Chains A and B, each alone.
Chain A
Protein backbone atom coordinates (compact mmCIF):
# COMPACT_ATOMS: atom_id res chain seq x y z
CA UNK A 1 0.00 0.00 0.00
CA UNK A 2 1.16 3.54 -0.69
CA UNK A 3 2.21 5.62 2.27
CA UNK A 4 -0.62 7.78 3.54
CA UNK A 5 0.41 11.42 3.14
CA UNK A 6 -1.35 12.42 6.36
CA UNK A 7 0.29 9.83 8.61
CA UNK A 8 2.29 11.46 11.40
CA UNK A 9 5.39 9.88 12.93
CA UNK A 10 5.03 9.23 16.64
CA UNK A 11 7.36 11.34 18.77
CA UNK A 12 8.00 11.42 22.49
CA UNK A 13 8.42 14.71 24.32
CA UNK A 14 11.85 14.74 25.97
CA UNK A 15 11.69 18.25 27.34
CA UNK A 16 9.75 21.50 27.14
CA UNK A 17 11.97 24.51 27.83
CA UNK A 18 10.78 28.02 28.54
CA UNK A 19 12.72 30.43 26.33
CA UNK A 20 10.79 33.64 27.01
CA UNK A 21 7.43 34.62 28.51
CA UNK A 22 5.63 33.49 25.33
CA UNK A 23 8.04 31.08 23.64
CA UNK A 24 9.03 27.48 24.47
CA UNK A 25 11.35 24.98 22.82
CA UNK A 26 9.98 21.45 22.69
CA UNK A 27 12.50 18.65 22.31
CA UNK A 28 11.19 15.49 20.66
CA UNK A 29 12.50 12.01 20.07
CA UNK A 30 10.99 10.70 16.82
CA UNK A 31 10.20 6.95 16.83
CA UNK A 32 11.04 6.73 13.14
CA UNK A 33 13.81 8.46 11.23
CA UNK A 34 13.02 12.08 10.49
CA UNK A 35 15.56 14.10 8.56
CA UNK A 36 15.16 17.58 7.13
CA UNK A 37 17.15 20.38 5.58
CA UNK A 38 17.34 23.84 7.14
CA UNK A 39 14.29 25.89 6.16
CA UNK A 40 11.98 22.93 5.57
CA UNK A 41 9.05 22.57 7.92
CA UNK A 42 6.95 19.88 9.55
CA UNK A 43 3.36 19.56 10.70
CA UNK A 44 3.12 19.08 14.43
CA UNK A 45 0.09 17.15 15.73
CA UNK A 46 -1.19 17.54 19.26
CA UNK A 47 -3.52 14.52 19.39
CA UNK A 48 -7.18 15.45 19.50
CA UNK A 49 -6.41 19.18 19.37
CA UNK A 50 -4.99 19.98 15.99
CA UNK A 51 -2.01 20.40 13.78
CA UNK A 52 0.22 23.36 13.02
CA UNK A 53 3.29 23.87 10.81
CA UNK A 54 6.69 24.77 12.28
CA UNK A 55 10.22 24.85 11.00
CA UNK A 56 12.46 22.75 13.26
CA UNK A 57 15.01 24.84 15.10
CA UNK A 58 17.46 22.03 15.81
CA UNK A 59 20.46 21.20 13.68
CA UNK A 60 19.61 19.26 10.52
CA UNK A 61 22.70 17.18 11.35
CA UNK A 62 21.21 15.97 14.64
CA UNK A 63 19.34 12.77 13.78
CA UNK A 64 18.53 11.80 17.36
CA UNK A 65 16.19 14.56 18.33
CA UNK A 66 14.03 17.22 16.84
CA UNK A 67 13.36 20.63 18.35
CA UNK A 68 10.65 23.15 17.69
CA UNK A 69 10.60 26.65 19.13
CA UNK A 70 7.00 27.73 19.38
CA UNK A 71 5.31 30.94 20.38
CA UNK A 72 2.02 30.65 22.23
CA UNK A 73 -0.55 32.41 20.06
CA UNK A 74 -3.53 30.09 19.63
CA UNK A 75 -5.27 26.86 20.55
CA UNK A 76 -2.67 24.39 19.27
CA UNK A 77 0.38 26.31 20.43
CA UNK A 78 -1.13 26.73 23.88
CA UNK A 79 -1.38 22.93 24.16
CA UNK A 80 2.17 22.58 22.86
CA UNK A 81 3.34 24.77 25.72
CA UNK A 82 1.56 22.45 28.16
CA UNK A 83 3.25 19.27 26.86
CA UNK A 84 5.15 17.27 29.44
CA UNK A 85 8.04 14.85 29.31
CA UNK A 86 6.78 11.50 28.04
CA UNK A 87 3.76 12.86 26.14
CA UNK A 88 3.24 11.49 22.64
CA UNK A 89 2.76 13.86 19.71
CA UNK A 90 2.90 13.48 15.92
CA UNK A 91 5.13 15.00 13.29
CA UNK A 92 4.81 14.67 9.53
CA UNK A 93 7.13 16.04 6.91
CA UNK A 94 9.58 17.46 6.11
CA UNK A 95 7.83 19.67 3.59
CA UNK A 96 8.78 22.53 1.32
CA UNK A 97 11.97 23.88 -0.12
CA UNK A 98 14.98 24.35 2.15
CA UNK A 99 17.38 27.30 2.17
CA UNK A 100 19.45 26.83 -0.98
CA UNK A 101 22.87 26.56 0.69
CA UNK A 102 24.53 25.89 -2.66
CA UNK A 103 23.55 29.43 -3.74
CA UNK A 104 25.36 30.84 -0.71
CA UNK A 105 28.76 29.38 -1.66
CA UNK A 106 31.55 31.94 -1.77
CA UNK A 107 29.17 34.64 -0.56
CA UNK A 108 28.83 36.95 2.43
CA UNK A 109 25.82 35.57 4.27
CA UNK A 110 23.62 37.87 6.32
CA UNK A 111 21.10 36.38 8.75
CA UNK A 112 18.37 38.60 10.15
CA UNK A 113 16.09 37.11 12.76
CA UNK A 114 13.48 38.75 14.93
CA UNK A 115 11.68 37.25 17.92
CA UNK A 116 10.47 33.70 17.30
CA UNK A 117 11.76 34.14 13.73
CA UNK A 118 15.14 33.18 15.15
CA UNK A 119 13.89 29.56 15.26
CA UNK A 120 14.29 28.61 11.58
CA UNK A 121 17.37 30.84 11.45
CA UNK A 122 18.88 28.73 14.22
CA UNK A 123 18.61 25.55 12.13
CA UNK A 124 20.14 27.43 9.20
CA UNK A 125 22.87 28.94 11.35
CA UNK A 126 23.84 25.50 12.69
CA UNK A 127 23.97 24.17 9.14
CA UNK A 128 26.11 27.14 8.04
CA UNK A 129 28.51 26.67 10.95
CA UNK A 130 28.88 23.02 10.00
CA UNK A 131 29.85 24.04 6.44
CA UNK A 132 31.38 27.47 7.19
CA UNK A 133 34.31 27.01 4.79
CA UNK A 134 31.89 27.36 1.89
CA UNK A 135 31.10 30.98 2.74
CA UNK A 136 33.09 34.16 2.81
CA UNK A 137 31.65 35.34 6.10
CA UNK A 138 28.52 35.14 8.20
CA UNK A 139 26.90 38.18 9.79
CA UNK A 140 24.10 37.37 12.22
CA UNK A 141 21.66 40.17 13.14
CA UNK A 142 19.28 39.41 15.98
CA UNK A 143 16.39 41.40 17.34
CA UNK A 144 13.68 41.09 19.96
CA UNK A 145 11.34 43.44 21.76
CA UNK A 146 13.10 43.37 25.14
CA UNK A 147 16.03 41.41 26.61
CA UNK A 148 13.49 39.04 28.27
CA UNK A 149 11.90 38.32 24.91
CA UNK A 150 15.12 36.87 23.51
CA UNK A 151 15.06 33.14 22.80
CA UNK A 152 18.23 31.03 22.87
CA UNK A 153 19.73 33.43 25.40
CA UNK A 154 22.62 31.15 26.36
CA UNK A 155 23.45 30.51 22.73
CA UNK A 156 23.21 34.05 21.43
CA UNK A 157 24.86 35.83 24.34
CA UNK A 158 27.49 33.23 25.05
CA UNK A 159 28.05 29.96 23.22
CA UNK A 160 27.60 31.18 19.66
CA UNK A 161 29.67 34.30 20.22
CA UNK A 162 32.63 32.11 21.11
CA UNK A 163 32.48 30.73 17.58
CA UNK A 164 33.46 34.18 16.28
CA UNK A 165 37.05 33.46 17.33
CA UNK A 166 37.20 30.32 15.17
CA UNK A 167 35.21 31.13 12.06
CA UNK A 168 34.46 34.30 10.05
CA UNK A 169 31.34 35.17 12.00
CA UNK A 170 30.05 38.30 13.69
CA UNK A 171 26.92 39.25 15.62
CA UNK A 172 24.85 42.41 15.69
CA UNK A 173 22.37 42.26 18.51
CA UNK A 174 19.60 44.66 19.38
CA UNK A 175 16.38 45.07 21.34
CA UNK A 176 13.54 47.49 20.67
CA UNK A 177 13.65 48.58 24.30
CA UNK A 178 16.64 47.89 26.54
CA UNK A 179 16.90 47.47 30.30
CA UNK A 180 19.68 48.53 32.67
CA UNK A 181 21.76 45.36 32.12
CA UNK A 182 21.67 45.42 28.33
CA UNK A 183 25.06 45.82 26.72
CA UNK A 184 24.18 45.62 23.02
CA UNK A 185 22.31 47.95 20.63
CA UNK A 186 18.90 49.50 21.17
CA UNK A 187 16.44 49.97 18.32
CA UNK A 188 14.46 47.90 15.85
CA UNK A 189 16.32 45.19 13.96
CA UNK A 190 16.76 47.28 10.80
CA UNK A 191 19.16 49.42 12.81
CA UNK A 192 21.63 46.52 12.82
CA UNK A 193 21.82 46.86 9.05
CA UNK A 194 23.42 50.31 9.22
CA UNK A 195 27.13 50.22 8.43
CA UNK A 196 27.31 46.51 7.71
CA UNK A 197 30.83 45.26 7.23
CA UNK A 198 30.18 43.00 4.29
CA UNK A 199 30.30 42.86 0.51
CA UNK A 200 26.65 43.47 -0.28
CA UNK A 201 27.06 42.99 -4.04
CA UNK A 202 28.34 39.50 -3.27
CA UNK A 203 25.93 38.96 -0.42
CA UNK A 204 22.77 37.07 0.37
CA UNK A 205 20.35 37.95 3.15
CA UNK A 206 18.06 35.55 4.96
CA UNK A 207 15.22 37.11 6.92
CA UNK A 208 12.74 35.59 9.33
CA UNK A 209 10.50 37.31 11.83
CA UNK A 210 7.07 38.87 12.28
CA UNK A 211 5.49 40.23 9.06
CA UNK A 212 6.14 43.88 9.91
CA UNK A 213 9.79 43.15 10.65
CA UNK A 214 10.19 41.22 7.39
CA UNK A 215 8.65 44.08 5.46
CA UNK A 216 10.87 46.82 6.84
CA UNK A 217 13.96 44.61 6.80
CA UNK A 218 13.38 43.81 3.13
CA UNK A 219 12.90 47.47 2.26
CA UNK A 220 16.10 48.34 4.12
CA UNK A 221 18.05 45.54 2.44
CA UNK A 222 16.93 46.77 -0.97
CA UNK A 223 17.92 50.29 0.00
CA UNK A 224 21.44 49.29 1.01
CA UNK A 225 21.92 47.43 -2.26
CA UNK A 226 20.87 43.79 -1.94
CA UNK A 227 19.40 42.35 -5.13
CA UNK A 228 15.79 41.13 -5.00
CA UNK A 229 16.92 37.62 -5.87
CA UNK A 230 19.41 37.58 -2.99
CA UNK A 231 16.87 38.30 -0.25
CA UNK A 232 15.41 35.08 1.16
CA UNK A 233 12.22 35.28 3.20
CA UNK A 234 10.61 32.57 5.32
CA UNK A 235 6.89 32.94 4.79
CA UNK A 236 4.06 31.89 7.04
CA UNK A 237 0.40 31.30 6.23
CA UNK A 238 -2.57 29.41 7.57
CA UNK A 239 -1.92 25.83 6.58
CA UNK A 240 -3.57 22.42 6.83
CA UNK A 241 -2.42 19.75 4.38
CA UNK A 242 1.18 20.94 3.86
CA UNK A 243 1.28 19.08 0.52
CA UNK A 244 -0.25 21.57 -1.91
CA UNK A 245 -3.82 20.23 -1.89
CA UNK A 246 -5.87 22.33 0.55
CA UNK A 247 -4.81 25.72 -0.91
CA UNK A 248 -4.97 27.61 2.39
CA UNK A 249 -1.36 28.78 2.31
CA UNK A 250 -1.34 30.27 -1.16
CA UNK A 251 0.28 33.62 -1.87
CA UNK A 252 -1.22 34.29 -5.26
CA UNK A 253 -0.37 31.27 -7.37
CA UNK A 254 2.46 30.15 -5.08
CA UNK A 255 2.10 27.54 -2.35
CA UNK A 256 3.97 28.32 0.87
CA UNK A 257 3.99 24.56 1.60
CA UNK A 258 5.38 23.45 -1.75
CA UNK A 259 7.06 26.38 -3.49
CA UNK A 260 8.24 27.82 -0.15
CA UNK A 261 8.31 28.37 2.77
CA UNK A 262 11.59 29.99 1.69
CA UNK A 263 11.10 32.43 -1.17
CA UNK A 264 13.25 35.15 -2.67
CA UNK A 265 11.79 38.63 -2.63
CA UNK A 266 11.97 38.50 -6.41
CA UNK A 267 9.47 35.60 -6.41
CA UNK A 268 7.07 37.38 -4.08
CA UNK A 269 7.19 41.05 -4.97
CA UNK A 270 4.24 41.00 -7.40
CA UNK A 271 2.05 38.66 -5.35
CA UNK A 272 -0.99 39.69 -3.31
CA UNK A 273 -0.65 40.89 0.29
CA UNK A 274 2.72 39.35 1.03
CA UNK A 275 3.25 41.17 4.33
CA UNK A 276 0.05 39.96 6.00
Chain B
Protein backbone atom coordinates (compact mmCIF):
# COMPACT_ATOMS: atom_id res chain seq x y z
CA UNK B 1 0.00 0.00 0.00
CA UNK B 2 1.44 3.30 -1.08
CA UNK B 3 1.72 5.84 1.74
CA UNK B 4 2.55 9.54 1.38
CA UNK B 5 2.85 12.51 3.70
CA UNK B 6 1.65 16.10 3.31
CA UNK B 7 1.62 19.00 5.74
CA UNK B 8 -1.74 20.47 6.75
CA UNK B 9 -0.87 23.82 5.11
CA UNK B 10 0.01 22.14 1.83
CA UNK B 11 -3.10 19.95 2.00
CA UNK B 12 -5.30 23.04 2.32
CA UNK B 13 -3.49 24.62 -0.63
CA UNK B 14 -3.98 21.38 -2.57
CA UNK B 15 -7.72 21.35 -1.77
CA UNK B 16 -8.03 25.02 -2.80
CA UNK B 17 -6.97 23.97 -6.25
CA UNK B 18 -9.64 21.28 -6.30
CA UNK B 19 -12.74 23.13 -5.10
CA UNK B 20 -12.98 24.94 -8.40
CA UNK B 21 -13.35 21.73 -10.38
CA UNK B 22 -15.40 19.51 -8.08
CA UNK B 23 -17.96 19.61 -5.33
CA UNK B 24 -16.10 18.58 -2.19
CA UNK B 25 -17.90 17.75 1.05
CA UNK B 26 -16.01 17.71 4.35
CA UNK B 27 -16.89 17.71 8.08
CA UNK B 28 -17.14 21.11 9.79
CA UNK B 29 -17.83 21.66 13.46
CA UNK B 30 -21.27 23.00 14.24
CA UNK B 31 -21.80 23.52 17.97
CA UNK B 32 -19.72 20.50 18.83
CA UNK B 33 -21.05 18.17 16.13
CA UNK B 34 -19.53 17.42 12.75
CA UNK B 35 -21.69 17.98 9.68
CA UNK B 36 -20.73 17.76 6.03
CA UNK B 37 -20.51 21.08 4.20
CA UNK B 38 -19.53 21.89 0.66
CA UNK B 39 -16.04 23.35 0.80
CA UNK B 40 -15.42 26.94 -0.23
CA UNK B 41 -12.89 29.67 0.53
CA UNK B 42 -14.74 30.50 3.73
CA UNK B 43 -14.66 27.09 5.40
CA UNK B 44 -11.77 25.24 3.80
CA UNK B 45 -9.52 25.87 6.80
CA UNK B 46 -12.18 24.76 9.30
CA UNK B 47 -12.38 21.11 8.24
CA UNK B 48 -12.03 18.77 11.23
CA UNK B 49 -9.70 15.83 10.61
CA UNK B 50 -8.81 14.64 14.07
CA UNK B 51 -12.03 13.61 15.74
CA UNK B 52 -14.35 10.76 14.66
CA UNK B 53 -17.16 10.13 12.19
CA UNK B 54 -19.50 12.99 11.16
CA UNK B 55 -23.18 13.05 12.15
CA UNK B 56 -24.36 12.06 8.67
CA UNK B 57 -23.56 8.59 7.38
CA UNK B 58 -21.74 8.17 4.07
CA UNK B 59 -24.84 6.43 2.70
CA UNK B 60 -26.44 9.86 2.27
CA UNK B 61 -24.18 10.49 -0.73
CA UNK B 62 -24.50 7.06 -2.33
CA UNK B 63 -28.15 6.41 -1.63
CA UNK B 64 -29.97 9.69 -1.01
CA UNK B 65 -33.15 10.05 1.00
CA UNK B 66 -35.29 10.29 -2.12
CA UNK B 67 -34.43 9.61 -5.75
CA UNK B 68 -36.07 8.63 -8.98
CA UNK B 69 -35.23 5.08 -9.81
CA UNK B 70 -37.24 4.58 -13.00
CA UNK B 71 -36.42 6.03 -15.42
CA UNK B 72 -32.95 6.01 -13.87
CA UNK B 73 -31.10 9.29 -13.32
CA UNK B 74 -29.03 10.58 -16.19
CA UNK B 75 -26.80 13.15 -14.58
CA UNK B 76 -25.14 12.01 -11.40
CA UNK B 77 -22.60 14.62 -10.22
CA UNK B 78 -18.94 13.90 -9.59
CA UNK B 79 -18.28 14.58 -5.93
CA UNK B 80 -15.55 14.16 -3.34
CA UNK B 81 -16.44 13.21 0.22
CA UNK B 82 -13.80 13.85 2.87
CA UNK B 83 -14.40 12.57 6.36
CA UNK B 84 -16.14 9.20 6.46
CA UNK B 85 -14.63 6.91 9.05
CA UNK B 86 -13.94 3.20 8.93
CA UNK B 87 -17.43 2.39 10.27
CA UNK B 88 -18.96 4.25 7.31
CA UNK B 89 -16.78 2.46 4.77
CA UNK B 90 -17.70 -0.90 6.22
CA UNK B 91 -21.34 0.10 5.78
CA UNK B 92 -20.85 0.42 2.01
CA UNK B 93 -20.12 -3.31 1.93
CA UNK B 94 -23.70 -3.94 3.04
CA UNK B 95 -25.07 -1.40 0.54
CA UNK B 96 -23.05 -3.06 -2.24
CA UNK B 97 -24.50 -6.45 -1.38
CA UNK B 98 -28.08 -5.20 -1.12
CA UNK B 99 -28.07 -3.22 -4.35
CA UNK B 100 -26.24 -5.77 -6.42
CA UNK B 101 -28.32 -8.84 -5.94
CA UNK B 102 -27.31 -11.70 -8.23
CA UNK B 103 -30.16 -10.89 -10.60
CA UNK B 104 -31.24 -7.37 -9.77
CA UNK B 105 -28.97 -4.34 -9.82
CA UNK B 106 -30.08 -0.95 -8.53
CA UNK B 107 -30.23 1.58 -11.38
CA UNK B 108 -28.44 4.47 -9.60
CA UNK B 109 -26.37 3.26 -6.66
CA UNK B 110 -23.31 2.01 -8.53
CA UNK B 111 -23.19 5.07 -10.78
CA UNK B 112 -23.19 7.28 -7.70
CA UNK B 113 -20.44 5.19 -6.21
CA UNK B 114 -18.38 5.46 -9.35
CA UNK B 115 -18.80 9.24 -9.33
CA UNK B 116 -17.86 9.63 -5.67
CA UNK B 117 -14.26 9.91 -4.56
CA UNK B 118 -14.02 8.83 -0.94
CA UNK B 119 -11.32 10.37 1.25
CA UNK B 120 -11.75 8.67 4.60
CA UNK B 121 -10.08 9.59 7.88
CA UNK B 122 -8.63 7.68 10.80
CA UNK B 123 -10.75 7.95 13.90
CA UNK B 124 -8.63 9.83 16.46
CA UNK B 125 -11.02 10.68 19.29
CA UNK B 126 -13.81 8.12 19.52
CA UNK B 127 -17.13 9.20 21.04
CA UNK B 128 -18.65 7.57 24.11
CA UNK B 129 -21.11 5.92 21.73
CA UNK B 130 -18.47 4.28 19.49
CA UNK B 131 -18.20 0.49 19.54
CA UNK B 132 -16.73 -0.54 16.19
CA UNK B 133 -14.21 -2.96 17.68
CA UNK B 134 -17.05 -4.85 19.37
CA UNK B 135 -18.43 -5.80 15.95
CA UNK B 136 -15.04 -6.53 14.45
CA UNK B 137 -14.41 -3.20 12.70
CA UNK B 138 -11.17 -1.29 13.25
CA UNK B 139 -11.28 2.47 13.89
CA UNK B 140 -9.05 3.06 10.87
CA UNK B 141 -9.97 2.25 7.28
CA UNK B 142 -8.44 -0.82 5.72
CA UNK B 143 -10.38 -0.90 2.44
CA UNK B 144 -13.26 0.69 0.52
CA UNK B 145 -11.60 4.13 0.27
CA UNK B 146 -9.86 6.02 -2.53
CA UNK B 147 -7.60 7.96 -0.16
CA UNK B 148 -7.30 7.75 3.60
CA UNK B 149 -6.01 10.53 5.82
CA UNK B 150 -4.47 10.02 9.20
CA UNK B 151 -3.71 13.21 11.04
CA UNK B 152 -0.24 13.20 12.67
CA UNK B 153 2.39 15.85 13.37
CA UNK B 154 0.32 18.67 11.90
CA UNK B 155 -0.05 16.88 8.61
CA UNK B 156 -1.39 13.67 7.16
CA UNK B 157 -0.22 10.23 6.30
CA UNK B 158 -2.14 9.50 3.13
CA UNK B 159 -2.88 5.97 2.09
CA UNK B 160 -3.80 5.43 -1.53
CA UNK B 161 -6.59 2.91 -1.87
CA UNK B 162 -7.46 3.07 -5.55
CA UNK B 163 -6.48 4.25 -8.98
CA UNK B 164 -9.13 6.95 -8.62
CA UNK B 165 -7.39 8.18 -5.47
CA UNK B 166 -3.99 8.09 -7.12
CA UNK B 167 -5.25 10.19 -10.02
CA UNK B 168 -6.73 12.75 -7.65
CA UNK B 169 -3.25 13.41 -6.24
CA UNK B 170 -1.65 13.21 -9.68
CA UNK B 171 1.94 14.43 -9.85
CA UNK B 172 1.53 17.01 -7.10
CA UNK B 173 4.94 17.60 -5.55
CA UNK B 174 3.60 18.63 -2.15
CA UNK B 175 3.18 14.96 -1.27
CA UNK B 176 6.29 13.23 0.10
CA UNK B 177 7.16 9.68 0.84
CA UNK B 178 6.27 8.82 4.37
CA UNK B 179 9.12 8.16 6.85
CA UNK B 180 9.52 5.14 9.04
CA UNK B 181 9.19 7.15 12.22
CA UNK B 182 5.87 8.56 10.95
CA UNK B 183 4.61 5.01 10.31
CA UNK B 184 5.63 4.11 13.83
CA UNK B 185 3.61 7.00 15.24
CA UNK B 186 0.65 6.01 13.06
CA UNK B 187 0.68 2.41 14.29
CA UNK B 188 1.05 3.49 17.90
CA UNK B 189 -1.87 5.93 17.64
CA UNK B 190 -4.06 3.37 15.96
CA UNK B 191 -3.39 0.91 18.74
CA UNK B 192 -4.28 3.55 21.33
CA UNK B 193 -7.60 4.32 19.66
CA UNK B 194 -8.54 0.65 19.63
CA UNK B 195 -7.74 0.50 23.33
CA UNK B 196 -9.84 3.61 23.99
CA UNK B 197 -12.86 2.09 22.26
CA UNK B 198 -12.44 -1.14 24.17
CA UNK B 199 -12.34 0.78 27.44
CA UNK B 200 -15.48 2.73 26.51
CA UNK B 201 -17.31 -0.58 26.02
CA UNK B 202 -15.95 -2.53 28.97
CA UNK B 203 -19.18 -2.18 30.96
CA UNK B 204 -21.30 -3.92 28.32
CA UNK B 205 -21.86 -7.58 27.68
CA UNK B 206 -21.48 -7.47 23.93
CA UNK B 207 -20.50 -10.91 22.83
CA UNK B 208 -22.10 -14.04 21.41
CA UNK B 209 -24.39 -12.11 19.10
CA UNK B 210 -25.29 -15.46 17.52
CA UNK B 211 -27.45 -16.05 20.61
CA UNK B 212 -29.88 -13.45 19.25
CA UNK B 213 -30.93 -15.95 16.61
CA UNK B 214 -34.53 -16.85 17.28
CA UNK B 215 -35.07 -14.15 19.93
CA UNK B 216 -38.01 -12.45 18.30
CA UNK B 217 -40.56 -12.99 21.07
CA UNK B 218 -41.49 -9.60 22.46
CA UNK B 219 -41.10 -10.83 26.04
CA UNK B 220 -37.31 -10.60 25.67
CA UNK B 221 -37.50 -6.98 24.52
CA UNK B 222 -39.99 -5.76 27.09
CA UNK B 223 -37.53 -6.42 29.89
CA UNK B 224 -34.80 -3.85 29.16
CA UNK B 225 -36.35 -0.74 30.74
CA UNK B 226 -35.20 1.70 28.02
CA UNK B 227 -36.95 0.14 25.04
CA UNK B 228 -40.30 1.63 26.04
CA UNK B 229 -38.76 5.09 25.49
CA UNK B 230 -38.61 4.52 21.74
CA UNK B 231 -40.88 7.00 19.97
CA UNK B 232 -40.58 5.33 16.54
CA UNK B 233 -38.98 8.46 15.08
CA UNK B 234 -36.66 6.58 12.74
CA UNK B 235 -33.55 8.53 13.71
CA UNK B 236 -31.59 5.32 14.24
CA UNK B 237 -32.48 3.97 10.82
CA UNK B 238 -31.85 7.26 8.98
CA UNK B 239 -28.44 7.70 10.54
CA UNK B 240 -27.39 4.07 10.23
CA UNK B 241 -24.72 3.40 7.61
CA UNK B 242 -26.33 0.06 6.71
CA UNK B 243 -30.09 0.59 7.11
CA UNK B 244 -31.31 0.43 3.52
CA UNK B 245 -35.08 0.03 3.71
CA UNK B 246 -37.04 2.13 1.28
CA UNK B 247 -40.50 2.39 -0.18
CA UNK B 248 -41.43 2.99 -3.79
CA UNK B 249 -43.64 5.87 -4.71
CA UNK B 250 -45.47 5.70 -7.98
CA UNK B 251 -45.51 9.08 -9.69
CA UNK B 252 -46.45 7.79 -13.14
CA UNK B 253 -48.50 10.02 -15.38
CA UNK B 254 -50.76 7.80 -17.44
CA UNK B 255 -48.49 5.40 -19.32
CA UNK B 256 -45.28 7.31 -18.56
CA UNK B 257 -44.19 5.14 -15.66
CA UNK B 258 -42.14 6.73 -12.92
CA UNK B 259 -40.89 5.20 -9.66
CA UNK B 260 -39.27 7.06 -6.79
CA UNK B 261 -37.35 5.46 -3.93
CA UNK B 262 -37.79 7.01 -0.46
CA UNK B 263 -36.10 5.85 2.75
CA UNK B 264 -38.39 4.02 5.13
CA UNK B 265 -37.90 2.81 8.69
CA UNK B 266 -38.88 -0.53 10.23
CA UNK B 267 -39.57 1.39 13.46
CA UNK B 268 -42.54 3.12 11.85
CA UNK B 269 -45.78 1.30 12.74
CA UNK B 270 -46.91 1.43 9.09
CA UNK B 271 -43.71 -0.10 7.72
CA UNK B 272 -44.95 -3.67 7.45
CA UNK B 273 -48.67 -2.96 7.70
CA UNK B 274 -50.61 -4.44 4.81
CA UNK B 275 -53.69 -2.94 3.21
CA UNK B 276 -55.80 -5.25 5.36
CA UNK B 277 -54.37 -3.55 8.46
CA UNK B 278 -52.51 -6.68 9.48
CA UNK B 279 -48.86 -6.42 10.44
CA UNK B 280 -46.39 -9.04 11.61
CA UNK B 281 -45.06 -6.58 14.22
CA UNK B 282 -47.96 -4.82 15.92
CA UNK B 283 -46.06 -3.74 19.05
CA UNK B 284 -43.21 -1.30 19.61
CA UNK B 285 -41.15 -4.08 21.18
CA UNK B 286 -41.42 -6.27 18.12
CA UNK B 287 -40.46 -3.39 15.84
CA UNK B 288 -37.53 -2.44 18.04
CA UNK B 289 -36.40 -6.07 18.13
CA UNK B 290 -36.73 -6.32 14.37
CA UNK B 291 -34.15 -3.62 13.77
CA UNK B 292 -31.57 -5.24 16.00
CA UNK B 293 -32.32 -8.76 14.80
CA UNK B 294 -31.90 -7.49 11.24
CA UNK B 295 -28.46 -6.13 12.17
CA UNK B 296 -27.11 -9.15 14.02
CA UNK B 297 -29.10 -12.07 12.63
CA UNK B 298 -30.87 -11.46 9.30
CA UNK B 299 -28.09 -9.52 7.56
CA UNK B 300 -25.53 -11.98 8.85
CA UNK B 301 -27.54 -14.76 7.16
CA UNK B 302 -28.16 -12.69 4.02
CA UNK B 303 -24.69 -11.25 3.47
CA UNK B 304 -22.27 -13.07 5.76
CA UNK B 305 -21.62 -9.92 7.82
CA UNK B 306 -23.27 -7.91 10.57
CA UNK B 307 -25.46 -5.03 9.50
CA UNK B 308 -23.83 -2.97 12.24
CA UNK B 309 -20.44 -1.32 12.04
CA UNK B 310 -20.39 0.12 15.54
CA UNK B 311 -20.66 3.79 14.51
CA UNK B 312 -22.97 4.49 17.45
CA UNK B 313 -25.20 6.93 15.56
CA UNK B 314 -28.32 5.06 16.66
CA UNK B 315 -27.26 5.69 20.25
CA UNK B 316 -26.19 9.32 19.98
CA UNK B 317 -29.20 10.25 17.86
CA UNK B 318 -31.85 8.52 19.95
CA UNK B 319 -34.57 10.84 21.25
CA UNK B 320 -35.51 8.26 23.87
CA UNK B 321 -31.87 8.06 25.02
CA UNK B 322 -31.82 4.32 24.44
CA UNK B 323 -28.34 2.88 24.51
CA UNK B 324 -28.54 -0.10 22.22
CA UNK B 325 -25.47 -1.61 23.87
CA UNK B 326 -27.26 -1.69 27.21
CA UNK B 327 -30.38 -3.23 25.68
CA UNK B 328 -28.36 -5.87 23.84
CA UNK B 329 -26.35 -6.67 26.96
CA UNK B 330 -29.53 -7.21 28.95
CA UNK B 331 -31.21 -9.28 26.26
CA UNK B 332 -28.13 -11.44 25.76
CA UNK B 333 -27.82 -12.03 29.51
CA UNK B 334 -31.51 -12.95 29.66
CA UNK B 335 -30.98 -15.52 26.93
CA UNK B 336 -28.28 -17.26 28.94
CA UNK B 337 -30.66 -17.61 31.89
CA UNK B 338 -33.27 -19.44 29.80
Contact = CB atoms under 8 A, between A and B. Distances in A.
A48 B250 contact: yes
Contact of B252 (A5, A48, A258, A272): A48
Interface residues of A, number: 44
Contact of B247 (A88, A246, A250, A252): A246
Given A245-B104, A276-B279, A240 B250 contact: no
Contacts of B216: 252, 272-273
B98 A237 contact: no
B93 to A, nearest CB: 15
B3 interface: no
A47 B280 contact: no
B251 interface: yes
Describe A's contact surface by its main secondary structure: loop
B245 A246 contact: yes
Given A252-B216, A253-B297, A240 B246 contact: yes
A144 B256 CA distance: 39
B248 A6 contact: yes
A47 B302 contact: no
A212 to B, nearest CB: 10
A83 to B, nearest CB: 13
Contacts of B282: 276
B274 A238 contact: yes
A252 B289 CA distance: 11
B99 interface: yes
Interface string B274-293: 11101111100010001001
A45 B255 CA distance: 10
Contact of B254 (A88, A241, A250, A272): A88
A47 B105 CA distance: 23
Given A244-B104, A247-B245, A49 B278 contact: no
Contacts of B251: 48
A46 B253 CA distance: 10
Interface stretch (A70-78, A98-106, A164-172, A225-233): A70-78
Interface of B: 69-72, 98-99, 101, 103-107, 214, 216, 244-257, 259, 264, 266, 271-276, 278-282, 286, 290, 293-294, 297-298, 301-302
23 contacts: A4-B70, A4-B107, A7-B71, A45-B257, A46-B250, A48-B252, A50-B249, A73-B274, A74-B275, A76-B275, A88-B254, A237-B272, A238-B272, A241-B248, A244-B98, A245-B99, A246-B246, A250-B294, A251-B280, A270-B214, A272-B286, A273-B280, A276-B278
Given A90-B252, A243-B103, A273-B216, 11 more contacts: A4-B70, A5-B105, A6-B107, A45-B252, A237-B272, A245-B98, A245-B246, A253-B297, A253-B298, A272-B281, A276-B278
